[in-house]
């Protein structure tokens, strides 16, 4: 089997791979995410660029390994949103998102020897319910600063599910990794058993 490296500090991405029985190590990629967010670039292109940059950055330093990079971009009303720097900014964002849909675009890329050998992108639509200010205050108090690591300020696998009335798209991709396509690619690349 080929050695697999996950080029991400995301605990949920690591948990998804581990729960699927995939052996890997984590080496985080040090990239400037703002460089990829060029004005006018679409969410799919930005997410894919970020995933490829992460995979390539680690792959160049680990030429014998297969490296998985992944990233997500949130698009709302034609704008790409970044992670909130603090809880006040996050509260304002969630007030803007409530009662409206947004798109969450998740990309993954595999690199080996400094070359991208596989890439995939998924787009999901999430419809936030029109929750009350009281619910929002309780949500933020319960979740704490941990949700600042998520671009939308929610973890759908936990209490954040209560923010939504429905979702359209791949659940795994919403969590941060299009797991089934990734597993198929890992089988093809010899990183897991066929």
The string of pLDDT tens digits covering residues 126-161 is 999 999 999 999 999 999 999 999 889 999 999 999
Give the chain's largest Cα–Cα span. 52
Residue 194 located in a structural domain: no
Residue 61 located in a structural domain: yes
DSSP 8-state secondary structure symbol assigned to residue 103: E
- Which CATH number is 70's domain given? 3.90.950.10
Residue 193 located in a structural domain: no
Asked if 137 and 115 count as a contact pair (C-beta separation under 8 A), the reply is no
Task: State how many domains the chain has.
Answer: 1
Residue 33 located in a structural domain: yes
Express as a percent the part of the chain with pLDDT over 70: 96
Residue 73 located in a structural domain: yes
The string of pLDDT tens digits covering residues 85-138 is 999 999 999 999 999 999 999 999 999 999 999 999 999 999 999 999 999 999
How high does pLDDT run on average in the chain? 94
Catalytically active residues, by annotation: 71
């Amino acid at each position: 089997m080929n050695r697999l490296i996950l080029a991400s500090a995301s605990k949920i991405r690591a948990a998804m791979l581990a729960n699927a029985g995939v052996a890997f190590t984590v080496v985080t990629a040090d990239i400037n995410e703002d460089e990829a967010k060029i004005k006018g670039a679409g969410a799919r292109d930005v997410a894919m660029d970020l995933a490829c940059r992460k995979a390539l950055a680690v792959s160049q330093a680990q030429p014998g390994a297969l490296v998985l990079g992944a990233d997500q971009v949130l698009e709302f009303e034609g704008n790409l949103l970044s992670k909130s720097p603090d809880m006040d900014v996050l509260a304002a964002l969630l007030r803007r998102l409530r009662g409206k849909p947004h798109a969450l675009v998740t990309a993954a890329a595999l690199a080996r020897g400094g070359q991208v050998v596989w890439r995939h992108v998924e787009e999901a639509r999430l419809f936030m319910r029109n929750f009350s200010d009281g619910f929002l205050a309780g949500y933020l108090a319960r979740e704490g600063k941990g949700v600042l690591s998520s671009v939308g300020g929610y973890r759908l696998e936990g209490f954040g599910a209560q923010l939504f009335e429905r979702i359209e798209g791949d659940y795994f991709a919403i969590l941060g990794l299009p797991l089934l396509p990734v597993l198929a690619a890992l089988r093809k690349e010899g990183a897991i058993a066929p």
